[in-house]
A and B are shown apart, each in its own frame.
Chain A
Amino acid sequence: MAADLASVAAKLAAPGKGLLASDESTGTIGKRLEKAGLPNTEDIRRAYRELYYTTPGIGHYISGVIMFKETLYQSTAAGRRFVDVLADEGVMAGIKVDEGLAPLPGGGEGETYTKGLEGLEAACREYVAAGAKFAKWRATLKVTDSLPSDLAVERNADDLARYAKICQDCGLVPVVEPEILIDGTHSQARFGDVTERVLGATVAALWRHGVALEGCLLKPQMVIPGAEAEGGKVAAEEVARHTVAALRRVVPPAVPGVMFLSGGQTEEEATINLDAINKEARVVGRCPWALSFSFGRALQASVLKLWSSDQTRVTEAQQLALSLARVNSEAALGQYSTPAGGHPSTLTGDSLRENFRGWSGQAPAGGTVPLQGGGGEEVVMAH
Chain B
Amino acid sequence: HSAHLYTPILLVLIAVKIHQNKRYRLRYSNRARPITMQAQMQFRSARTASCVRASSGRAQPKVLCRAFNSMESPFAEELKKNAAYIAQKGKGILASDESNATTGKRLQSVGVDNTEENRRDWRELLYTAPGLGQYVSGAIMFEETLYQKARNGSQFVDILLAQGIYPGIKVDTGLQVLPGGKGETTTQGLDNLADRCKAYRKQGAKFAKWRAVIKIGEAGCPSTTAILENAHGLARYAQICQENGLVPIVEPEVTLGPGDYSIDETAFWSERVYSHVMRLLNEYGVILEGILLKPNMCLPGLDAPVANPEEVARVTVRTMMRSIPPAVPGIHFLSGGMSEEEATLNLQALNDEAPNAPWALTFSYGRALQATTLKTWAGKESNWAAAQDILVKLAKANSEAAAGKFKGPHPVPGGGRILQALRTGGSGK
Contact = CB atoms under 8 A, between A and B. Distances in A.
Query: Do A and B interact with each other, yes or no?
Result: yes
A352 interface: no
A237 interface: no
B358 A286 contact: yes
Interface in B113-148: none
Contact of A200 (B49, B65, B282): B282
Interface stretch (A76-84, A103-111, A266-274, A308-316): A103-111
Contact of A197 (B48, B64, B68): B68
Nearest to A250: B325
A252 B66 contact: no
A277 B65 CA distance: 31
Contacts of B324: 252-253
Nearest to A107: B63
A288 interface: yes
| Range class of the A interface residue count | 35 or more
Interface in A316-373: none
A200 B64 contact: no
Interface string B242-283: 000000000000000000000000000001100110110011
Given A196-B70, A214-B322, 6 more contacts: A146-B63, A197-B282, A200-B279, A200-B283, A248-B325, A252-B325
A85 interface: no
Nearest to A206: B275
A204 B279 contact: yes
A73 interface: no
A192 interface: yes
Interface of A: 106-109, 146-147, 149-151, 154, 158, 189-190, 192-194, 196-197, 200-201, 203-204, 207-208, 213-214, 245, 248-254, 285-288
Contact of A207 (B65, B272, B325, B326): B272
Given A146-B49, A196-B282, A252 B70 contact: no
Contacts of A251: 325-326
Given A200-B279, A207-B272, A248-B327, A192 B322 contact: no
Nearest to A200: B282
B74 interface: no
Interface residues of B, number: 38
A41 to B, nearest CB: 40
A142 B399 CA distance: 48
B394 interface: no
Nearest to B359: A286
Contacts of B70: 189, 192-193, 196
Given A194-B68, A197-B282, A249-B288, A286 B322 contact: no
Interface string B358-394: 1100000000000000000000000000000000000
Contacts of B65: 108, 146-147, 149-150
Nearest to B275: A207
9 contacts: A149-B64, A154-B38, A200-B278, A208-B37, A249-B327, A253-B326, A253-B357, A254-B321, A285-B358
A109 B325 CA distance: 32
Contact of B326 (A150, A201, A286): A286
B68 A287 contact: no
B282 A249 contact: yes
A360 to B, nearest CB: 15
Contacts of B225: none
B327 A108 contact: no
Interface in B316-357: 318, 320-327, 356-357
Contact of A146 (B51, B61, B327): B51
B53 to A, nearest CB: 6
Contact of B271 (A149, A207, A214): A207
Contacts of A253: 320-321, 324-326, 357-358
Given A107-B63, A207-B271, A150 B42 contact: yes
A354 to B, nearest CB: 26
A107 B65 CA distance: 10
B353 to A, nearest CB: 13
A108 B324 CA distance: 32
A208 B322 CA distance: 12
A146 B38 CA distance: 19
A288 B326 contact: yes
Contact of A106 (B51, B61, B68): B61
A149 B64 CA distance: 6
A33 to B, nearest CB: 36
B286 to A, nearest CB: 10
A110 to B, nearest CB: 11
Contacts of A250: 282, 325
Q: Which 7 A-B pairs have the closest CB atoms?
A: A286-B358, A200-B282, A193-B68, A254-B321, A248-B327, A146-B65, A204-B279
B220 to A, nearest CB: 19
Interface in B44-74: 48-49, 51, 53, 61, 63-66, 68-70
A197 B275 CA distance: 14
Contacts of A151: 63-64
Nearest to A157: B38
Contacts of A189: 70
A2 B9 CA distance: 68
Contacts of A193: 68-70
Nearest to B282: A200
Contacts of B325: 248-253
Given A109-B53, A146-B51, A200-B282, A254 B322 contact: yes
A190 B48 contact: no
A288 B322 contact: no
Contacts of A201: 279
Contacts of A196: 70, 282
B227 to A, nearest CB: 12
A193 B53 CA distance: 23
Nearest to A193: B68
B360 to A, nearest CB: 10
A106 B63 CA distance: 7
